[in-house]
Amino acid sequence: MSRKENPIIIAYNFLFAISSSVVGAIIASWPLLFVFVLVQKTNEIVHLSVFKVMHNYNQLMLYLIWPFKSRLKMDDFHTSANAAEHFADCKRLFILAVVVFIVCLIMYLVAKKKNNRQFLNLDKTWSMLFLILPIVVLPFAITNFDSFFIFFHHLFFSNANWLFDPATDPIINVLTEGFFASCFAVAGIIYELFFAEKLIKR
């Protein structure tokens, strides 16, 4: 088996792309939420200032990405048992993505330092395949994001506790469909750029 067909290299690039897109979307979620709260004025629904909303979002995200924080507590948003369970599921996925990203990044930096980046390069066929893969679902995601979002949750979560009731989990009033769609868009763009860059280099 040639190096270009090595399944380890294929898996490495795919996992690096996926984890990069997740980490990128997490980082982008802060300015995105700030903009959406300003534009949609969702802070008025929950009777908080924009900065109070962002403060609570900081608390949520710190819980989701920090492995040593075991309890979710937001100052101004109550969290139901179902929501807490769902956020715990999200936390496991987020931390997994961050760990995979760090491992892949370290591998890349080590290879770069040793002038051996070619070892981790993906051949053109696989790069094109991974680049095209998300485009298959793009029309569905754009035309009916709500159904796509539901499908995504059924795919990654085994229960229905991701269906929030605004009465018991008011944070869902500020985490709107448009906000989530924008986060998905950022993740998709990062994923596509990852493999597009590999094709352009060739």
Higher pLDDT, 163 or 92: 92
Average pLDDT along the chain: 91
Share of the chain above pLDDT 90, in %: 69
The rounded distance, in Å, linking the Cα atoms of 28 and 58 is 13
Spatial neighbors of 177 by CB under 8 A, at least 6 apart, are: 145, 146, 149
Indicate the pTM of the whole model. Answer: 0.90
Name the H helices within 41-176: 42-45, 50-65, 81-113, 124-132, 138-143, 145-156
pLDDT digits (tens, 9 = 90+) for 16-39: 999 999 999 999 999 999 999 999
* pLDDT of 2 higher than 50: no
Residue 54 near residue 34 (C-beta atoms within 8 A): yes
Lowest mean pLDDT: which of 22-31, 75-84, 116-125, 178-187? 116-125
